[in-house]
Amino acid sequence: MVLLSAVACREKPIDQGALITARTIGLDDLQRGRLAEAEQEFRTVIALAPRDPLGYANLGLTYLRAGRYAEAESQLDRARRLDAKSPDIALIIAKLYSLTGRPADARRVLSTIPPDARVLYALAELEREHGDGAYADRLRPVLERVPANLAVRLKLADALLRRSPRWTGSKGRS
């Protein structure tokens, strides 16, 4: 009797082929801006693998791009509950919070996960509103992680130059 109930409680196996196909098509649709089609594919991903956080995250990202912020937040919260340490999920949530005027919440989410270069860069971008000094201070650790990143190097140089009194004010540039 116990063996029978244990077998009945098992989840049915995931059709990996259908899952990969739905995820791939959904990401392609999302990239091409076909949001309704992407939404349907990611709903299929969730139906096939309800414990996969990326299905919810991708659906949330689809809603985010469509401007459907409440629905995006709901799906992203589900994804975060399934994988609280995912930088990908945290970055999408932080973007949602930034777009909805909640930069403190964005910082909080990003500070709870192990920092990688993308997370450090997102934190730096959140500091832009506090001036070039704070922005430059946040860009330095990004550059330490990825010293060959020319875009970050240029942004840091720009922030430092704008912060310098020689380059600001009525004296002009030399």
Rounded Cα distance, 90 and 106, in Å: 8
Cα dihedral 99, 130, 87, 115, rounded to 10, equals 180
pLDDT tens, 49-62?
Answer: 999 999 999 999 99
Question: CATH classification of 18-113, choosing from 3.30.530.20, 1.10.10.60, 1.10.730.10, 1.25.40.10?
Answer: 1.25.40.10
pLDDT tens, 66-86?
Answer: 999 999 999 999 999 999 999
Residue 169, pLDDT above cutoff 70: no
Report the pLDDT value the prediction gives residue 151, as an integer from 0 to 100. 94
Q: Give the tokens for residue 37.
A: 């089609």
- For residue 17, the one-letter residue type is G
Closest CA to 82 of 27, 45, 38: 45
* Domain regions of the chain by residue span: 18-113, 115-164
Rounded Cα distance, 22 and 4, in Å: 33
pLDDT tens, 107-128?
Answer: 999 999 998 999 999 999 998 8
Rounded Cα distance, 41 and 21, in Å: 9
Going by pLDDT thresholds of 50, 70 and 90, the confidence category of residue 129 is confident
